[in-house]
Structure 1
């Protein structure tokens, strides 16, 4: 198998030939058709979650492909099934899964630590999010894959493994955006553009896209945004409030994660408003919220993991919305690249040149 492996924080991933370890009785082997490159991949490479990574790790956490082998105890998928690999598993039996909160599934921790392949020097590599989609072949627990029914190409289905589900779900499932409401979205990469689409599906009357990159603001308008804000012109919270006649947004989504931008996004919401934290920030990051303002204006701050989506139900729901034309994946896939170009594609994402790059040639 060919895989892009994280060997040292802050360094490019190394594309290597690995020997896959034998699958266990609950494991599924998938021929990867496509893997999206998400900003979280860059954050992991740069050490944002250093305490959660030990030893070599196959990168990638957003993919789709076809099942080629299953363990004896696997009963959710079969050889030949098309599947989406999810960066959040859904074991179906933990206390969170049985309470319809599978996005918080307890199985993730053990999956992160399980070796999946051997390197030429004899060391073993784990897989990012328990799947490691920057590889032509991945082995994972059946809890991490969902069988789907669709003719969409893998390059588009892969986005549902993380970015699109997180963004659309943030609007539909986490914030539960109401028809006629006013929404601000800060950060318009692949996830932010998906928040915009989710807010449009939910019936938001005003959707304000905030991003310093002009091309991303233009894409946002095509995907449902009614207004755009360039934070370089003036403080974005002031611009958002001006557009909303001083009242502030009903929901504001931070899709960046840095404490300064989180605090700015909080200042965009009005009375009874909700701030939704979608972007991953530093593990020791903090931001201040004025307690009186939070209480007296009945505001809410909510975390968002995987768009609060229940993958065994919601992947197919989102696919149906794509196939009916209510959601678009076309506008999100900026380019398709080979595995050897994964580091170049990460840099293009960092510089704002692309919405989403997808690895389709391994």
Structure 2
């Protein structure tokens, strides 16, 4: 039978979010209902609220979540009621051309729950990234649930569902950062700091954090940056070259998503180096680079989709590393809040005061 829970919706473009009663259907074939224990407040949720993703209002916000499987539908075998899971927004299909070529992290046919959650009056909701986890419970495709160590803090574990995984994966999976490499990370919010953590985990010898905010640079140092550059007062390309013997970094990770910072990343890398774009641009942005420079500098220009992660492989590994004390994922949790404080959390996000606010149920 259906269930009534509380959830945070965005009713219209740039309208304040509000807590409403949400109807959750029983899980159908291949689906699961998950009781949410914690969900991070991500910039992507703000983009949904602002209408920057699409106009399919009202949205049920929230996607960086961890919780416990409550029930599953027909044919579900990978998870069962009682499992502690992290939710992901790229449920691998196993049948598309990427999956069949052994590259499931690129899956071109990821899927979500087929049934719709609704408001009490029957209005259908669009769940953010197919998840909708600013709610006491949510309905997802079972493939969006990844089992991890239940001893992990839900507030920490849930962050792997989006921003932290995107940053760590941009370094390890997309950028292939190796031992002794030099890495520059442009943009030190949650994703950029996660890229720093990933670079440190991979054994990078020099990790240069670039941002316009000294507070963010201080945090970047705490999580593993060896050098910092304030690009408001210093030319970041020249600074990165000076810090790498005049050559440029082996890997430059752009975590802002703007043409200006991407151009900086392009010229701040060494010859045959790698640029990784993990910052998300907006539709109207255009990039212009001399084609001769693209050819002449060689190397790789890559885009990182969700850190090119495979949740079933990467989530348990990273949780285990956190539990062993080898990476500190708790450093990303600035504050824990209640469900009705999400709108305030968006304001603090604008002010740059937090890496992540996390709703804890």
TM-score normalised over the length of structure 1? 0.94
**Counterpart Cα distance in 2 of 1:42 and 1:2:** 19
**Counterpart Cα distance in 1 of 2:105 and 2:49:** 23
For residue 264 of structure 1, report the CA deviation from its aligned partner: 1.9
2:44 paired residue number: 40
Residues 162-241 of structure 1: matches in 2 within 5 Å? 162-241=162-241
Worse-matched range after superposition: 234-243 or 68-77? 234-243
Contact 1:294 1:300 in 2 (8 A): no
- CA-based RMSD: 1.6
For residue 5 of structure 1, report the CA deviation from its aligned partner: 1.1
2:33 paired residue number: 29
Residues 1-362 of structure 1: matches in 2 within 5 Å? 1-50=5-54, 53-108=55-110, 111=112, 114=114, 116-361=116-361
Worse-matched range after superposition: 202-211 or 83-92? 83-92
Worse-matched range after superposition: 234-243 or 276-285? 234-243
**Counterpart Cα distance in 2 of 1:100 and 1:284:** 34
**Counterpart Cα distance in 2 of 1:284 and 1:104:** 25
**Counterpart Cα distance in 2 of 1:239 and 1:15:** 47
Residues 283 and 103 from structure 1, CA distance in 2 versus in 1: closer, same or farther, beyond 3 angstroms? farther
> For 1:271-296, what per-residue CA distance to the aligned partner results, in whole angstroms no more than 9, with x for missing partners?
11111000111023221222111211
Worse-matched range after superposition: 285-294 or 167-176? 285-294
Contact 2:183 2:252 in 1 (8 A): yes
**Counterpart Cα distance in 1 of 2:308 and 2:166:** 7
- May I ask how many residue pairs the two structures share in their alignment? 357
For residue 83 of structure 1, report the CA deviation from its aligned partner: 0.5
**Counterpart Cα distance in 2 of 1:4 and 1:235:** 42
Contact 1:150 1:319 in 2 (8 A): no
SS of residue paired to 1:331: helix
Contact 1:209 1:220 in 2 (8 A): yes
Gaps of at least 5 residues in structure 2 are none
> For 1:21-77, what per-residue CA distance to the aligned partner results, in whole angstroms no more than 9, with x for missing partners?
332121100000000111222222222222xx5232211121000001111211110
SS of residue paired to 1:28: strand
SS of residue paired to 2:261: helix
**Counterpart Cα distance in 2 of 1:100 and 1:48:** 33
**Counterpart Cα distance in 1 of 2:161 and 2:86:** 6
Contact 1:180 1:205 in 2 (8 A): yes
Contact 1:89 1:103 in 2 (8 A): no
Residues 170 and 6 from structure 1, CA distance in 2 versus in 1: closer, same or farther, beyond 3 angstroms? same
